Structure formats: C-alpha cells, structure tokens
C-alpha cells in the first residue's frame, strides 16, 4: 500500500514540485493550498505524514503544527516543516510547536525524501 503524504503549502507550484518527487518514489501525495482546511483534509485523507509550509496567509505552519500536536485526534501524525525559514531560531520554534522534522527550501530531492522516509 502506498503511504499517503499531505502537502500543505499556499504555493500551488511548490505543492506540484513535491508531489512529483514523492510520486516517483511510490508515495501517494495529496496537496492542500488552503491552511484553513487542514483538519478537514486530514480527517478525509488520513495521511501517514504531513509536509507543512510555515509562511502562509490566515494561519501559519507553526500555528497549524501546534493545533495538530495539541489535538488527541491528530497528534500522532508526524509533521515535517518544509520552509524557507532556515535560522536556528526558526528550527527551534518549529520543534517547540511539536514538529517532528524540518526541511529548508530550497531543498534537494534527497533531503526531502530522507525526511519523509523517517516517518512514512
């Protein structure tokens, strides 16, 4: 069975790029561009792992991660932050919100796959 990966990023181009990389490796990537629909999408899709952008309108990735990790329904799903925010304090803040992994943009194919393979 293919492992389902939910990609949450407000950039459709970024979602397509990640979907293409994951499909070639046998994953089942599902994209979401609307950060307000995260819980609804997780409930319907039941992903094995979530790739989450940080900088998004309305609701940023740190808020989403904190909400997911604070929820008994969703806290067991690994969350990997995939973001251009690459300072040590950004990574620390991601960990503080409960992120299980952190990949900075621009990433290599191997960096992304290594992070996903740890959890899916």
pLDDT interval class at 2 (50, 70, 90): confident
What CA–CA distance (Å, rounded) separates 57 from 91? 20
pTM of the predicted structure, to 2 decimals: 0.97
Q: How many domains does the chain have?
A: 1
pLDDT interval class at 120 (50, 70, 90): confident
Asked if residue 1 has pLDDT above 60, the reply is no
CATH number where 96 lies: 3.40.50.2300
How many CA atoms, within 13 angstroms, populate the side-chain half-sphere of residue 14? 22
**Reduced to 3 states, what is the DSSP secondary structure of residue 31?**
strand
What CA–CA distance (Å, rounded) separates 87 from 81? 13
Q: State pLDDT tens for residues 29-87.
A: 999 999 999 999 999 999 999 999 999 999 999 999 999 999 999 999 999 999 999 99
Q: State pLDDT tens for residues 81-104.
A: 999 999 999 999 999 999 999 999
Domain that holds residue 49: 4-117
């Amino acid at each position: 069975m293919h492992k389902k990966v939910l990609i949450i990023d407000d950039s459709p181009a970024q979602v397509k790029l990640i979907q293409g990389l994951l499909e070639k490796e046998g994953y089942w990537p599902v994209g979401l561009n609307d950060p307000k629909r995260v819980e609804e999408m997780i409930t319907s899709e039941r992903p094995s792992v979530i790739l989450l952008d940080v900088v998004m309108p309305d609701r940023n990735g740190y808020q989403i991660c904190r909400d997911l990790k604070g929820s008994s329904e969703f806290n067991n799903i690994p969350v990997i932050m995939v973001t251009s925010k690459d300072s040590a304090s950004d990574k620390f803040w991601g960990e503080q919100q409960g992120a299980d992994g952190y990949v900075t943009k621009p990433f290599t194919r191997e960096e992304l796959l290594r992070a996903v393979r740890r959890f899916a």
